[in-house]
C-alpha cells in the first residue's frame, strides 16, 4: 500500500485528529501519551507536523519510522522532532500500557523570545528516532517534574507571566536533555569506540578502493549512512570522544592518505588528487597546504 502524507499545521488540528479534546492553549500543548490514539488505518501515513514535539515515552509496543528507517522500542526514551520532519507510527496490539508525555510547541509560541534562536542550536532535533535519549530513573524523575510544571502552567489562567514561565521551563528541559545526551555518549563508550573503529575501517576501504573508480570525496552524509546514524548524532558522538567532527575526521584521513601516496609512490600530484576524489589538482593542493602548511611538492621533497 502506498504511504500517504498528511500535514498537521496547528495544535488544534492535532488534538482533533488524535481525539484529545480542545487544547487549553492554541500554540502549546502537553499531552498524556496514554491518551493518544493510534489506529491501524494510520500505519501507512507519514505525519508532518509544522511544530516542535518533545516526547518522553515508555512501554511502546509499536514501531516508529523516521526518514527511511524503522525502529522498535521497549524502554523509556525521549525523542525530539522539529517542524517539517516526517514521522510514521505503526500500531501493534498490546499498546494499552504506554505512558509518558508529548509536548507540542508551535513556532509562533516562542516567536520573539530567547528560545526562538536557541532552540535551533540543540542538535538533537536533527537526530533520528533511533538515537533517542535513554533516561536513568533519576533523569526520568527530573524530566517528569519539568513536564508537570509545564502542565500546571498551561492549565492555569493565562496572564502576563505565563509565556515567560513556560519558556523558561522548556529551556530547562532542553538544557537537561543536552546534558543527558552527553552522558549517554559517555556511558555507551564501548559502543562509541566501536563506531570509531568502524569509521576508520570505512574511510580506509573508501580510499583504498578508489583506484580506477572516481567516486569523489566522501561526504558526512555518506559516512553517517554507512554507520547507520544521522549525520548530526554521529558528529556529536565523535566530538564527545575525540573533540573532532565527522568532517574533520574525513579531512584527517584525506591528509593521511595523501601523505602516504606522496611519500611512498611516484604518482604525480594530479594523479594523487584524482585518486583521492578531487576534481581539480588546484583544489587538492590548496586543501593540503591549508591543513599542513606545506604544498604537496614541498612535503614530497622531504623524502627525496
150 and 217 part of one domain:
no
DSSP E strand boundaries for the chain: 4-8, 28-32, 45-49, 52-58, 63-66, 69-72, 77-81, 86-90, 99-105
Task: Show the DSSP H helices in 156-226 as ranges.
Answer: 162-187, 189-208, 220-226
Residue that terminates a domain, selected from 136, 154, 187: 187
Domain co-membership, 43 together with 162: yes
Residue 188's Cβ-side half-sphere holds a number of Cα atoms within 13 Å equal to 18
Among residues 148, 165, 187, the one where a domain terminates is 187
The residue whose grid cell reads 573508480 is 213
Is residue 212 a contact partner of residue 219, using CB atoms and an 8 Å limit? no
| Domain C-terminal end among 153, 187, 221 | 187
The position carrying cell 516542535 is 52
Whether residues 168 and 195 fall in one domain = no
Say whether both 122 and 41 belong to one domain. yes
Quote the pLDDT of residue 68: 45
CA distance linking residue 143 with residue 180, whole number of Å: 11
**Taking a C-beta distance cutoff of 8 angstroms, is the pair 261, 275 a contact?**
yes
Same domain, 25 and 132: yes
Residues 31 and 67 both lie in one domain = yes
CA distance 7 to 79: 20
The rounded distance, in Å, linking the Cα atoms of 177 and 198 is 27
Phi then psi for 44, rounded to 5 degrees? Answer: -110, 35
Residue numbers of the chain with a pLDDT score lower than 70: 1-3, 59-76, 90-96, 188-192, 210-214
Residues 170 and 290 in one domain: no
Instruction: Please say whether the beta carbons of 104 and 28 come within 8 A.
Output: yes
CATH number at residue 252: 1.10.10.60
Confidence (pLDDT) at 131: 84
Provide the 10 A C-beta neighbour count for residue 124: 22
146 and 70 co-located in one domain: yes
Q: What's the confidence (pLDDT) of residue 214?
A: 52
Q: How much is the pLDDT for 240? A: 86
* Residue 141 CB burial class (10 angstroms; 0-12, 13-18, ≥19): exposed
The conformation of residue 34, written as its DSSP 8-state character, comes to G
Residue 277 C-alpha cell reads as 576524489
Looking at the structure, do residues 175 and 231 belong to the same domain, yes or no?
Answer: no
CATH number for 135? 2.60.120
Report the 10 Å Cβ neighbour count for 152: 12
Model confidence pLDDT, tens digit, residues 222-273: 999 999 889 999 999 999 888 899 999 999 999 999 999 999 989 999 999 9
Looking at the 3D structure of the chain, how many domains does it have? Answer: 2
Residues 133 and 49 both lie in one domain = yes
Does the CA dihedral 130-116-120-240 come out positive or negative? negative
Is 71 in contact with 130 (CB distance < 8 Å)?
A: yes
Contacts of 136 (CB under 8 A, 6+ apart): none
Q: Same structural domain for residues 101 and 202? A: no
200 and 144 share one domain = no
Looking at residue 61, its pLDDT comes to: 58
28's CB contacts (< 8 A; 6+ apart) are 11, 103, 104, 105, 106, 109, 154, 166
Range of the domain at 42: 4-187
pLDDT in tens, 199-232: 999 999 898 875 445 578 999 999 999 998 899 9
Amino acid at each position: 500500500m502506498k504511504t500517504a502524507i498528511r500535514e498537521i499545521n496547528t495544535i488544534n488540528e492535532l488534538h482533533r485528529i488524535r481525539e484529545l479534546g480542545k487544547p487549553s492553549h492554541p500554540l502549546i500543548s502537553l499531552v498524556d501519551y496514554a491518551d493518544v490514539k493510534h489506529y491501524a488505518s494510520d500505519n501507512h501515513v507519514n505525519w508532518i507536523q509544522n511544530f516542535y514535539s518533545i516526547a518522553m515515552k515508555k512501554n511502546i509496543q509499536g514501531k516508529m519510522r523516521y526518514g527511511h528507517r524503522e525502529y522498535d522500542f521497549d524502554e523509556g526514551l525521549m525523542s525530539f522532532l522539529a517542524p517539517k520532519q516526517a514521522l510514521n507510527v505503526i500500531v501493534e496490539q498490546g499498546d494499552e500500557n504506554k505512558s509518558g508525555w508529548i509536548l507540542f510547541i508551535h513556532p509562533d509560541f516562542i516567536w520573539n523570545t530567547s528560545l526562538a534562536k536557541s532552540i535551533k542550536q540543540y542538535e538533537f532535533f536533527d537526530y533520528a528516532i533511533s538515537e533517542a535519549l535513554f533516561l536513568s530513573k533519576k533523569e526520568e524523575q527530573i524530566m517528569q517534574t519539568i513536564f508537570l510544571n509545564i502542565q500546571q502552567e498551561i492549565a492555569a489562567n493565562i496572564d502576563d507571566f505565563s509565556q515567560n514561565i513556560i519558556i523558561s521551563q522548556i529551556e530547562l528541559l532542553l538544557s537537561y536533555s543536552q546534558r543527558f545526551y552527553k552522558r549517554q555518549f559517555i556511558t555507551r563508550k564501548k559502543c562509541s569506540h566501536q563506531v570509531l573503529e568502524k569509521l576508520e575501517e570505512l574511510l580506509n576501504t573508501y580510499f583504498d578502493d578508489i583506484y580506477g573508480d572516481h567516486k569523489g570525496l566522501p561526504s558526512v552524509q555518506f559516512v553517517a549512512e554507512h554507520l547507520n546514524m544521522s549525520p548530526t548524532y554521529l558528529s556529536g558522538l565523535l566530538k564527545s570522544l575525540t573533540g573532532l567532527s565527522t568532517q574533520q575526521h574525513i579531512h584527517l584521513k584525506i591528509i593521511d592518505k595523501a601523505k602516504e601516496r606522496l611519500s611512498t609512490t611516484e604518482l604525480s600530484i594530479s594523479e594523487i588528487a584524482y585518486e583521492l576524489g578531487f576534481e581539480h589538482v588546484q583544489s587538492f593542493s590548496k586543501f593540503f597546504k591549508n591543513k599542513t602548511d606545506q604544498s604537496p611538492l614541498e612535503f614530497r621533497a622531504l623524502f627525496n
